[in-house]
Structure 1
């Protein structure tokens, strides 16, 4: 896939969809956006007008991928049901909460065990996202991971 056009150059999260999180959640969001913009593979199938600007939001219980050209011209909007993400996002929040508490006091081996579980749940969410985007938008796994983090941020209500 790796063409210079097949990438995201800007990402915006709908402020109306985002709850203000704690410092850890805000940090996760900032890191995910930074990492996503530094390195990603994102191809809108049937289009060659990239690189792309992506606006993510939640509207009417749907995840909205509003994809535009770098100059802001509309390319495509895909709406995905949130139902397949609900359980995995809930599980991810629970394990992240445990992880953030543990890093303050737990032994390194316990922290590592919880972090492995956190990464596993995150990988599962990333695979679900790849499946839901199939036939519409093609992403590599690292891009799917970063996008899944942003989807979680959109779900965060503090």
Structure 2
């Protein structure tokens, strides 16, 4: 189980907001994290750095297919993203970079910005306060990728076997 303090966003947060295109020359998650959510200003960036979980409404990660939108969140120390729904490419990029991404609209509707939230992707449960919300548990293949820290580390372990 992972989780912590929440930073909450609304619907249709696109990849240009998550990481502006001018920073795509880098693939280093720590370097990218310095520019995560830059268009929303330094206050939002400071809140992101003190958060553990991003919570958002519908269609999180819409826009371009840039993998850096997920990896910059990893670099910023985000442990999970819980949204009402994801753009499909962002969801897969999150898994590939080792970032937990969970669709759980009921949890999104009750958790507050600055609140606490925990995710158990193996059991398919999101907890906030005393409330528990179920979501479809990840299949074994996705759990293995996350357990290994992302797709590349997972493939390297598979090849080593």
Q: TM-score range by the shorter chain?
A: under 0.3
Q: Which has the larger radius of gyration?
A: 1
Length-normalised TM-score, structure 1: 0.27
Structure with higher helix content? 1
**Bigger relative contact order, structure 1 or 2, given CA contacts below 8 A and separation 6+?**
1
